[in-house]
Amino acid sequence: MFIVKASNQRHQWISGIFKEEQEVLNYIDSIPNDLKNDQIIIELPNTNYPFYIIEKENEFDFIEVEELLQMINGIETTEEENRVYFNIFVIETDFVPNKPGADYMGIIKHEHVLLDGTREREMVS
């Protein structure tokens, strides 16, 4: 599995997800020059669909279902209002945004794990 992670001075995002190496290389070639330097490729050997991306404090972890369940069960709650503990992105297939290199993570199926342990669903196909 190949993840294209991008970052600038404000934040990080995942700009592409690919099963095949040639697909990620083609994608990198399609990214406009003004965004190309912001991108890095992360290889996740022995990873298959589905898997999950956890976004927490502007960092990403790539995990499978067992780790996800452990993470949810291990949440230590606080009294902080409007607390989002982390976001879970469900990755079931390659992800190619409309504008290569840009931040379109919001269109990936995801959930926000909130203060009371509930999930605020934003399921987008």
Q: Please give the tally of structural domains in the chain.
A: 1
In this prediction, residue 79 carries a pLDDT of 74
Range of the domain at 112: 2-122
Q: What percent of the chain has pLDDT over 90?
A: 69
The pLDDT confidence band at residue 115, using thresholds 50, 70 and 90, is low
Q: What is the mean pLDDT of the chain?
A: 88
pLDDT tens digits, one per residue of 22-76: 999 999 999 999 999 999 999 999 999 999 999 998 899 999 999 998 888 887 7
Residue type, 90: V
In this prediction, residue 50 carries a pLDDT of 96
Length of the chain: 125
pTM confidence score: 0.84
Angle at 86 between CA 85 and CA 88, to 5 degrees: 145
The pLDDT confidence band at residue 124, using thresholds 50, 70 and 90, is very low
Cα(113)–Cα(119) distance, integer angstroms? 5
